[in-house]
Amino acid sequence: MKLYNSATRTKDEFVPNHPDIVKMYTCGPTVYHFAHIGNLRSYIMEDILEKYLRYVGYNVKRVMNITDVGHLTSDADEGEDKMLKGAKRENKSVMEIAKFYTDAFFSDCAKLNIKTPDVVEPATNCIDEYIKIISKLMDTGYAYFAGGNVYFDTSKLERYYVFNDFNAEDLDVGVREGVEEDTNKRNRNDFVLWFTKSKFEDQALKWDSPWGVGYPGWHIECSGISMKHLGDDLDIHCGGIDNAFPHHTNEIAQSESYLGHKWCNWWMHVLHLNTTSGKMSKSSGEFLTVDLLEQKGYDPLAYRFFCLQSHYRKSLVFSWENLDNAQLSYQKLIARIASLKPGDGEVEQEAVDALKAKFTGALDNDLNTSLAVTALYDVLKYKTNDATKLAVLADFDRVLSLSLIAKADAKREELKKQTVTAGEFTIVSESGESDPSVEAKIQARQDAKKAKNYAEADRIRDELKAAGIEVTDIPHGAKWKRI
Ligand code: AMP
Ligand code: ZN
């Protein structure tokens, strides 16, 4: 399996450090607001990566943080604490909004079939871990105390920028929110490991530390949580592209200075979901949530399908028209799967192997999900029986998680309820309603056609039309709708 590694800027064969386990860390949400569908693009792609690793046979231990303290409005540790800002906005305590938005996040994930990581750790649970790391960094001269805060000294490193193949605009995202510069820093990119002197007297959460009562910086949280649960090394670290700098860059700086050796081998960054006017962000206030999509009548899984149709290393532009197209394609796909007959024949292993080869070939190539989606259509077109097709689709859906089989089963049930069968002839209403008088007329028209009385058949069709009913012939039946 080849995966692009942001740290080496090459697509390399993925080899975990330990043969029996893949250690995976994902930056989690800052729970001061709802996740927007841009954030969720990153989590969908990380979910695909985790599930595909499991699919090809790896054991995976995946850890994710919940940032409930220390993330300031600028990723460069300036501005206001996002959690405090959220609490003020809603007149609640920081812990209340942390709980509320953590629950909301996992509810969104469930709707998008995103699996909950093996370990989910709130940052406020690991204060001792951060203090241990920061103490050693102070002892070894990588950190300094200034103006009441503890900073990491980036000038101590031979190489600080690791991901410098990204364009300047992406790298700037974290630091451009127009906040005043912190004059305590020795170097522009030095970052806070521990705050004691904060601009916000009302900082809600504080802990004792060797440097005074205070709270951790955002970056140290991910290093501490990762080391607590995954030890001194890591196979894959994931996040959205805005995390590459400064967040991940700082994580590497502090972790490797602390450990004295390389920390994480693979860095996977998901490019942004943009609106036509730029990056979708929580701070801009204008963002779309899963709830909002549902209110507008979209199936959250149509959004997952939309994300899978593009490659994670390309930015993706959201528009309602694009989502409409994705929803339509998704519904058509489900309808086609629903037309397959479960139990029709024995599963043919040769066909399974041939179809799987294309699917794994796509995902082995740096998670090419759009080709993996195409592989679903190949299954439908393949010359094999329905039992084989359904078995292969169910297998692929272990990774894609589009609820293909459950939705197709539900669709079949729905169609059964909607249909009135007379012999071979099936009458279906597009809206799902049933109307015996309409169905009787459609049946009468069919009987007239069978008796070659086409004039009568046309008369009935006109009569229905005059009553606002449009009838369309479909194989082995007719469907109708109100116009
Ligand atoms: P946050 O809750 O702001 O800390 O972000 C959670 C995750 O979403 C991080 O991995 C971010 O890099 C990622 N992210 C933020 N904005 C976007 C976006 N517009 N598109 C894709 N991922 C994003
Ligand atoms: Zn992180």
One-letter amino acid of 326: A
pLDDT given at position 422: 47
What pLDDT does 79 receive? 67
How far is the CA of 59 from the CAs of 122, 223, 311, 321, 356, in angstroms? Answer: 24, 22, 25, 39, 21
Q: How confident is the model at residue 433 (pLDDT cuts 50, 70, 90)?
A: confident
- Give me the mean pLDDT over the 160-181 stretch: 57
Say how far apart CA 112 and CA 104 lie, in whole Å: 13
pTM of the model: 0.85
Q: Which pLDDT value is given to residue 419?
A: 64
**Side chain identity at residue 174, one-letter code:** G
Beta bridge partners of 270: 240
The secondary element (H helix, E strand) that includes residue 27 is: none
152 by DSSP, 3-state: which? strand
Whether the Cβ atoms of residue 478 and residue 472 lie closer than 8 Å to each other? yes
Of 414, 438, 455, the one marking the end of a domain is 414
Residues 6+ apart with CB under 8 A from 84: 94, 200, 202, 203, 204
Interhelix angle 386-400/404-418, nearest 10 degrees: 130
If you ran DSSP here, which 8-state letter would residue 433 be given? Answer: -
Pocket of ligand 1, candidates 39, 108, 171, 288: which has the most ligand atoms within 8 Å of its Cβ, to mutate?
39
Residues 264 and 261: their CA atoms lie apart, in Å, by 10
Check if the beta carbon of residue 24 is closer than 8 Å to that of residue 238.
yes
Atom of ligand 1 minimally distant from the CA of 238: 10
Q: Which amino acid type is present at position 117?
A: P
Say if residue 118 is in the same domain as residue 165. yes
pLDDT (mean) for 261-288: 86
Domain limits for position 395: 293-414
242, 251, 274: which to mutate for ligand 1, most atoms within 8 A of CB? 242
Say yes or no: 178 and 254 in one domain.
Answer: yes
CA of 440 to the centre of ligand 1 (A): 55
Among 358, 382, 414, residue at a domain's last position: 414
Taking the C-alpha atoms of residue 410 and residue 421, their distance in angstroms, rounded to an integer, is: 19
If asked whether residues 314 and 239 sit together in one domain, one would say no
Residue nearest to ligand 1 atom 7, measured at CA = 39
In a shared domain, residues 257 and 381: no
pLDDT given at position 177: 45
In three-state form (DSSP H/G/I as H, E/B as E, the rest C), the secondary structure along 2-23 is EEEECCCCEEEECCCCECCEEE
Residues 367, 245: one domain? no
* H helices present in 245-385, as ranges: 249-259, 290-295, 300-308, 320-338, 349-364, 369-381
Tally Cβ neighbours within 10 Å of residue 473.
11
In this structure, what CATH number is given to the domain that contains residue 318?
A: 1.10.730.10
User: What is the CATH classification number for the domain harbouring 224?
Assistant: 3.40.50.620
Q: Could you count the other beta carbons within 10 Å of the beta carbon of residue 262? A: 14
287 within a domain of the structure (yes/no): no
Q: Is the C-beta atom of 42 inside 6 A of ligand 1?
A: yes
Mean pLDDT of 204-232: 94
Taken in order 286, 291, 294, 299, is the CA torsion positive or negative?
Answer: positive
Ligand 1 touching residue 97 (CB < 6 A): no
Query: Residue type at 130?
Result: Y
Ligand closest to CA 282: 1
Verify that 299 and 191 share a domain, yes or no: no
Q: Specify the residue with its C-alpha closest to ligand 1, atom 11.
A: 240
Q: Does residue 282 sit within a domain?
A: no
Query: Which position has the higher pLDDT, 340 or 477?
Result: 340
Q: Whose CA is nearest to atom 12 of ligand 1?
A: 240
Contacts of 189 (CB under 8 A, 6+ apart): 76, 154, 160, 246
Nearest to 93 by CA among 64, 121, 124, 128: 124
Contact 237 CB / ligand 1 (< 6 Å): no
Asked whether residue 217 is domain-assigned, the answer is yes
Is the CB of 29 inside a 6 Å radius of any atom of ligand 1? yes
Distance separating alpha carbons of residues 296 and 476, to the nearest angstrom: 34
**What pLDDT was estimated at residue 171?**
47
Q: Which atom of ligand 1 is nearest to the CA of 239?
A: 10
Nearest CA to ligand 1 atom 6: 29
Average pLDDT over residues 275-279: 80
Q: 3-state class of 407 per DSSP?
A: helix
Residue 246, Cβ density class (10 Å: 0-12 exposed, 13-18 middle, ≥19 buried): buried
Cβ of 68 closer than 6 Å to ligand 1, yes or no, is no
In this prediction, residue 175 has a pLDDT band, given cuts at 50, 70 and 90, of: very low
Decide if 48 contacts 313 (C-beta within 8 A).
Answer: no
56-111 pLDDT tens trace: 999 999 999 999 877 776 666 666 778 888 888 999 888 899 999 999 999 999 99
| 3-state DSSP assignment of residue 221 | helix
Q: Which one has a higher pLDDT value, 414 or 74?
A: 414
pLDDT digits (tens, 9 = 90+) for 353-368: 999 999 999 999 999 9
Give Cα 207 to chain centroid, integer Å.
33
Residue 225 lies in a domain: yes
The answer on 141 and 17 residing in a single domain is yes
Residue 46 in contact with ligand 1 by CB distance below 6 A: no
**Ligand 1 atom nearest to CA at 26:** 10
Q: Residue 320: inside a domain, yes or no? A: yes
* Distances 362 to 115, 137, 164, 359, 373 between C-alpha atoms, Å: 22, 43, 28, 5, 9
- Whether residues 263 and 382 share a domain: the answer is no
β-bridge mates for residue 216, sequence order:
194
Query: Interhelix angle for 249-259 vs 218-230, to 10°?
Result: 50
Please check whether residue 275 lies inside any domain of the structure. Answer: no
Q: Is 30 in the pocket of ligand 1 (CB under 6 A)?
A: yes
- Residue 324 and residue 307: Cα distance in Å, rounded? 13
338 and 197 assigned to the same domain: no
Q: Summarize pLDDT for 20-44 with one digit per residue, the tens.
A: 899 999 999 999 999 999 999 999 9
| Same-domain pairing of 169 and 67 | yes
What is the total count of domains within the chain?
A: 3
Indicate which atom in ligand 1 lies nearest the CA of residue 28: 6
Domain boundary pick from 399, 414, 429: 414
The finding on whether 385 has its CB within 6 A of some atom of ligand 1 is no
Q: Are 317 and 208 in a shared domain?
A: no
Strand partners, 4: 11
The answer to whether the beta carbons of residues 263 and 175 sit under 8 Å apart is: no
- Average pLDDT in the chain: 90
Q: Is residue 454 part of a domain?
A: yes
Would you say residue 122 lies in a domain?
A: yes
Q: How far is the CA of 104 from the centre of ligand 2 (A)?
A: 19
| 160 and 265 part of one domain | yes
Find residue 278's DSSP bridge partners.
275
Q: Please answer whether residues 63 and 117 qualify as being in contact, where contact means their C-beta atoms are separated by less than 8 angstroms.
A: yes
Using a pLDDT cut of 70, give the percent of the chain over it. 91
